[in-house]
Structure 1
Amino acid sequence: MSRSRTPVAQILERLVGPRSELSITAYDGSSSGPAGAKVGIEVRSPLALSYLLSSPGDLGVARAYVAGHLDVSGDLYTALHALAAQADQVTAADKVWLLRELGPQHLRRVEPPVEELPSRFRRGLHGLRHSKSRDSSAISRHYDVSNRFYELVLGPSMAYTCAVFPTADATLEEAQKNKFDLVCRKLDLKPGMRLLDVGCGWGGMVEHAAEHYGVQALGVTLSREQAQWAQKDIVAKGLADKAEVRHLDYRDIKETGFDAVSSIGLTEHIGARNLPSYFSFLASKVKVHGRLLNHCVTNPNTRVPHRSRGFIDRYVFPDGELEASGEIVSAMQDNGFEVRHLENLREHYAETLAGWCANLDANWDEAIAEAGAGRGRVWALYMAACRLAFERREIELTQVLGVKVGAEGDAGMPLRPDWGV
């Protein structure tokens, strides 16, 4: 006679540990945790368990959640926060025990959701990593989802990078405007200057610099939908004589002699081995005394692998790579720039993501009607998980300011920072 199986909810509770803010319900009718818990995890079908047991790393949870076989009632961030500490402690022995309790039938491979990209190896069959064609495909995969979807998530600023909150009670829109203004001040922009913004997104930096600092601004992006949206918005705001956004790989920019370059959220897509050529290329585009402001997500130390893996690589930023701030600084120093200032804005990105999560929650029905339930779940999970990662210092956000010095070492910089900090 076979032994009776332990209820699924009790099995999972033993694995993750009891949490006062978390309840678990399962398809077999079992439940655990307090009735008044802030959030609840619902295991809707045996397929959720098959995903968990047959997938490496965080892919199991991601696949089950994106496919709808695992759901969360209440705030997703709160659920991840409750599980984060215990998830770090799950051992191989725990997984063996889980398999024994649930049964070997859950080891069967289940097809991943349609939103998942193939592995890096299979992607490599269609082009080298960070080649122009593969970068174009990766960027399109993430950014050409739907401009309306991004409007709902990002808000009126259409800024998809870390905001800078001037005060703790500032709104997301105020913080995004403050971010663009901080970059302009660090670059010491003046009327009549020429600005190059690489990886310009929907043109927020280009528009801000042209409108408020009187510069001639050129932005480039690999996303066709971003470029079309940005050009239309530039015309609508009456900035067409000062600002332009092109659908273009930064490596194909022909113009030179810019007074400043902003790179806000592009380095994550470049690749560690390409940083020297990237910064060397940007140095070739600016005049002597021209400044570069590089704003990007970074690893907390140089021991963390560069390449993204698991959920982030398969669902969010294919081929993405992060470097530590010291690696960014070294690459800039070795390839045409003197580094003059570094600022870590890690906590600001956690707050930015909290704002995006709130926007997605408030506009959920319209967002999934626009991009699909699976895509909506991908973004909800990715943004909540990244918010937690910034809070726990698993990743950081760093701004590095560099300048192209003259032949005699003249930098054209003030003795102290001149951007009001």
Structure 2
Amino acid sequence: MTVAEAFEQVFGTDAPVRFDAYDGSSTSNADAPMSMSLRSKRGLDYLLTAPGSLGLVRAYLMGDLVIDPMDEGDPYDVLRFIDDEVHPQKPTRAEFPGLAGFVAANRPRVPELPPEETPGPVRRLAYGLTHARSRDAAAIHHHYDVSNRFYEMLLGPSMAYTCAVYPTVDASLEEAQDEKFDLVCRKLGLEPGMRLLDVGCGWGGMVRHAVMHYGVTAIGVTLSKEQADWGATRMEREGLADRGVIRHADYRDVRESDFDAVSSIGLTEHIGVGNYPAYFSFLRGRLREGGRLLNHCITRPDNEHAGLPSRGFINRYVFPDGGLTGSGDIVRVMENEGFEVRHQENLREHYAMTTRDWCHNLSRNWNDAVDEVGLGVARVWGLYLAGSRLGFERNRIQLHQVLASKSTELGDSGFALRPTWGS
């Protein structure tokens, strides 16, 4: 059996893809709108030893699988086409021996892994137990210390790497990121003279916005040294350093307390679902009575499948040790830790638009991005962002903001009878 014949056995002879392989074989669908070319035996080994998306990603990153047409900075159209049109079929009893013989004849072995892939879960034990401080620092370094210059090309002037909030369908990415930070400030009820703690502050966008537009003093903490250095430099350049501080630190090392408000924008994904109780208990301990917490994070559409697949693309290439669960789990833990949840909303359509705009940025700056971080890393980001866009659009993942208060013993929440932050 040739490689192309095996492809047709798995995906059907009517799959809308022209497939050709290194052994000279091709499928018969010459007029298909998409073509895939498997260039080497190594590529076949990737596919056979890691069936599904992980094997495809490995072959693609190593140049063994070529897809046409493909915008590598924004492969959304390709991923959507595959999601809609290309589906493996369960082999019949008559087909199974032929496929088994094909695999046996090709004697697959695990080739070298792409350098962009983090070690598997067992090997990662060498870096400490999951969510120990040293291992958290290594995971954050992998994801965020890629290159500040790369992130400038990807994210734009805001340097905001979290879901934006689009006030209109035609708003720009920068307008939407500004609206996101302002919405968080309004939900937190920030006023001049208040004290804000922003955990997982990234490059300091929330801190800058709150200090500049709401007159607060603020502390931001991030485990990424590159983020902290960039954010501190910008705070100094804009004359805000006397009221806003960006620290390179673990949020668990914050000793100050009695903050009026705490914002957590995009950190919960990194801490592990099992650590939610300790996390929200710690944040509650940083607030004064009547203070508010805004938690903003990616969520699942259900509360039955916490975590991320350890062998999946996201865990291996993007978010080592990352974890997601549904908004119901988040609300439950927050309430169990003494918060009074006052409001929540799902912004998944906004995150689909955000990842769309990030992909546009990456595509527009593709050559410079490749020069900065290398072809493999740039390809990982294209796949990750385009795949995320598809996931948000199709309700496979969501984005929730949950607003809560540390209400007093007498029940004073500090909230008005109706929301005051607008849409």
Equivalent residue for 2:274?
273
| Segment of structure 1 superposing worse, 411-420 or 25-34 | 25-34
Selected match of 1:55 from 14, 39, 50: 50
Distance between the aligned counterparts of 1:96 and 1:196, measured in 2? Answer: 61
Distance between the aligned counterparts of 1:198 and 1:95, measured in 2? Answer: 53
Deviation for aligned residue 1:26: 3.6
Equivalent residue for 1:290?
291
Asked if structure 1 preserves the Cα contact closer than 8 Å seen for 2:2 and 2:25, the reply is no
Query: Deviations 1:151-180 (Å, cap 9, x if unpaired)?
Result: 111111111111111111111111111111
Distance between the aligned counterparts of 1:168 and 1:407, measured in 2? Answer: 43
Deviation for aligned residue 1:209: 0.8
Distance between the aligned counterparts of 2:172 and 2:101, measured in 1? Answer: 50
Query: Deviations 1:269-320 (Å, cap 9, x if unpaired)?
Result: 1111110110011001111111110000111111223234311111110000
Equivalent residue for 1:343?
345
Superposed counterparts of 1:25-174, under 5 Å: 25-27=20-22, 28=24, 30=26, 33=29, 35=31, 37=33, 39-73=34-68, 74-75=70-71, 76-85=75-84, 90-91=89-90, 98=99, 100-101=101-102, 104-105=105-106, 107-174=108-175
RMSD over aligned Cα, in angstroms? 2.1
1:376 partner SS? helix
Distance between the aligned counterparts of 2:321 and 2:350, measured in 1? Answer: 25
Equivalent residue for 1:402?
404
Paired letter, 1:217: A
Query: Deviations 1:166-204 (Å, cap 9, x if unpaired)?
Result: 111111111111111111111111111111100001111
Query: Deviations 1:31-78 (Å, cap 9, x if unpaired)?
Result: 6546472x5433222322210111154210111111121123334211
Pick closer, same or farther for the CA change 1:104–1:416 going to 2, 3 Å: farther
Pick closer, same or farther for the CA change 1:41–1:281 going to 2, 3 Å: same
Distance between the aligned counterparts of 1:13 and 1:195, measured in 2? Answer: 59
| Segment of structure 1 superposing worse, 39-48 or 265-274 | 39-48
Asked if structure 1 preserves the Cα contact closer than 8 Å seen for 2:228 and 2:248, the reply is yes
Distance between the aligned counterparts of 2:330 and 2:242, measured in 1? Answer: 34
Distance between the aligned counterparts of 2:381 and 2:107, measured in 1? Answer: 27
Superposed counterparts of 1:178-257, under 5 Å: 178-257=179-258
Distance between the aligned counterparts of 2:76 and 2:123, measured in 1? Answer: 32
1:130 partner SS? coil
Asked if structure 2 preserves the Cα contact closer than 8 Å seen for 1:308 and 1:320, the reply is no
Deviation for aligned residue 1:91: 3.7
Pick closer, same or farther for the CA change 1:306–1:95 going to 2, 3 Å: farther
Asked if structure 2 preserves the Cα contact closer than 8 Å seen for 1:308 and 1:322, the reply is no
TM-score normalised by length of structure 1? 0.93
**Does residue 380 of structure 1 match 2:382?**
yes
Paired letter, 1:70: L
Distance between the aligned counterparts of 1:356 and 1:194, measured in 2? Answer: 32
Asked if structure 2 preserves the Cα contact closer than 8 Å seen for 1:389 and 1:395, the reply is yes
2:202 partner SS? coil
Pick closer, same or farther for the CA change 1:258–1:362 going to 2, 3 Å: same
Distance between the aligned counterparts of 1:296 and 1:71, measured in 2? Answer: 34
Asked if structure 1 preserves the Cα contact closer than 8 Å seen for 2:11 and 2:87, the reply is no
Ranges in structure 1 where 5+ consecutive residues have no aligned partner: none
Paired letter, 2:377: R
Task: State the identity as a percent.
Answer: 53
**Does residue 323 of structure 1 match 2:322?**
no
Asked if structure 1 preserves the Cα contact closer than 8 Å seen for 2:139 and 2:320, the reply is yes
Asked if structure 2 preserves the Cα contact closer than 8 Å seen for 1:353 and 1:383, the reply is yes
Paired letter, 2:262: V
Pick closer, same or farther for the CA change 1:105–1:318 going to 2, 3 Å: same
Paired letter, 2:183: L
| Segment of structure 1 superposing worse, 87-96 or 152-161 | 87-96
Asked if structure 2 preserves the Cα contact closer than 8 Å seen for 1:163 and 1:179, the reply is yes
Q: How many residues align?
A: 414
Equivalent residue for 1:412?
414
Selected match of 2:365 from 363, 366, 390: 363
Asked if structure 1 preserves the Cα contact closer than 8 Å seen for 2:8 and 2:27, the reply is no
Distance between the aligned counterparts of 2:342 and 2:118, measured in 1? Answer: 40
Pick closer, same or farther for the CA change 1:180–1:83 going to 2, 3 Å: same
Asked if structure 1 preserves the Cα contact closer than 8 Å seen for 2:48 and 2:55, the reply is yes
Superposed counterparts of 1:304-315, under 5 Å: 304-309=305-310, 310-315=312-317
Paired letter, 1:153: L
Deviation for aligned residue 1:97: 5.6
Paired letter, 1:267: T
Paired letter, 2:397: I
Asked if structure 1 preserves the Cα contact closer than 8 Å seen for 2:154 and 2:362, the reply is yes
Pick closer, same or farther for the CA change 1:353–1:188 going to 2, 3 Å: same
Pick closer, same or farther for the CA change 1:249–1:357 going to 2, 3 Å: same
Asked if structure 2 preserves the Cα contact closer than 8 Å seen for 1:40 and 1:79, the reply is no
Asked if structure 2 preserves the Cα contact closer than 8 Å seen for 1:54 and 1:106, the reply is no
TM-score normalised by length of structure 2? 0.92
Distance between the aligned counterparts of 2:37 and 2:359, measured in 1? Answer: 21
Pick closer, same or farther for the CA change 1:91–1:234 going to 2, 3 Å: farther
